[in-house]
Structure formats: structure tokens, C-alpha cells
Amino acid sequence: MTPIKARLLSAIVCTLLLNGCSTRDLQGTLGGSTAQRLVTHSIDDLVTQLKDPALDALEKQKVYINSYFLNNSPIKDYADNRLAIELEARFGAEVVASQADADRVMTVFYNSLATDIDNFGITVPLGYIPGMSETASLNVITLEKFHGVAEMYYYVGPNGTENRSKVVQAKVKTDALGLPFITIPISNIDRH
């Protein structure tokens, strides 16, 4: 076998053994502190970046928040309460519990209140080994991105169907470099 053929064969074998991959995993629950912090910080960033003349006009107005998400959950409740505090503290509105008591209605559509994980790089699959999960793998070198994402748009006015906002999004992330037996943090979410 010629040296060129030997190198080509080695390259093919290495390519088959080492997967270059990119995966994305949507996290359905917020089981860990990092996931919880990513989502709550993204919600905080989302509402603090709201800038809109329609919101400025809420000063001294009674506002009812009518919000929608894919399902009712503690995350949605958290986002609603964080939004209510921002409307009161920054825009001078009085958030009320009933639409009948309101001067203005804010109809909110949350598009995302979750975490996701992206993993880019080279891994060795281990799922073919008996007793291992079929998704198990060993990092050779990867970039692991763990994000909290909050996204919404809203309508605000006397009926809550006027003045559609642009879509507002906030992402908070923590990234790491994955090596065979160690993960090295690149960024963190500390907010001291």
C-alpha cells in the first residue's frame, strides 16, 4: 500500500470513528440551578429592555396583564409577575387583577421561556457499547452552549388589541469547552 493510500485509509477510518456533530436539546424542565438561573435572568433581561411609547403612556393608568403561553406554568407566572413589577416601577402603571378595573390592557404572547443546549464539535459515540445509553458519547473537543431564552410580543391599549410591539428576545448563556474527561467553563452567569 502506498503512503498516500495509507493516509487516505487512515483519514476515512478516523472520520468514521469520530463524529463531527452539532446537536440541540430543548430542556423541558428546570431541574438544576443553572437552568433556573438562565431562564430567570433571561426573563429579567427581557422586561428591562422594553422600550415603547405605548408603555410610556401607561403612567398613572390601571393596567390588566392578559398573557398567553403554550401552557400555564410557574415559569409563565414568574414572567407575568416580573413584567408587572417592571410596569409599576419603571412605567408608573398600576397593575390590577381584573380587566373590568383596568384603563388599559396588555395582552402578552410569550414565544419562549425555556433553556436549550447546543453542542458543536467532535465526539466519539459510546451508544454501541453494551450497558451504555444510546446517546452516550465522549467529547474529543466540543463547544457546549447552554442558553436561557425568553421571547415575547404584546399589544397594549384600551382593549389589549392595539399597538402590537416588535418581538423582544433575551438570551443568557453559559458556554464551556468540552474535552475528553474535563469541561472548561468559558463564560458564566454570575451577576454580582
Q: What is the pLDDT along the chain (192 residues), one digit of tens a residue?
A: 777 766 666 655 555 444 444 444 444 456 688 899 999 999 999 999 999 999 999 999 999 999 999 988 999 999 999 999 999 999 999 999 999 999 999 999 999 999 988 888 998 888 888 888 888 888 899 999 999 999 999 999 999 999 999 999 999 999 999 998 888 988 877 776
pLDDT score, position 190: 75
C-alpha 51 chain-centroid distance: 21
Q: What are residue 9's phi and psi, to 5 degrees?
A: -65, -40
pTM of the full structure: 0.78
Per domain, the residue ranges of the chain are 19-185
Three-state secondary structure readout of the chain: CCHHHHHHHHHHHHHHHCEEEEEEEEECCCCCHHHHHHHHHHHHHHHHCCCCHHHHCCCCCEEEEEEECCCCCHHHHHHHHHHHHHHHHHHCCEEECCHHHCCEEEEEEEEEEEEEEEEEEEEEECCCCCCCCCCCEEEEEEEEEEEEEEEEEEEEECCCCCCCCCCEEEEEEEEEEECCCCEEECCCCCCC
| Amino acid identity, position 128 | Y
What CA–CA distance (Å, rounded) separates 25 from 56?
38
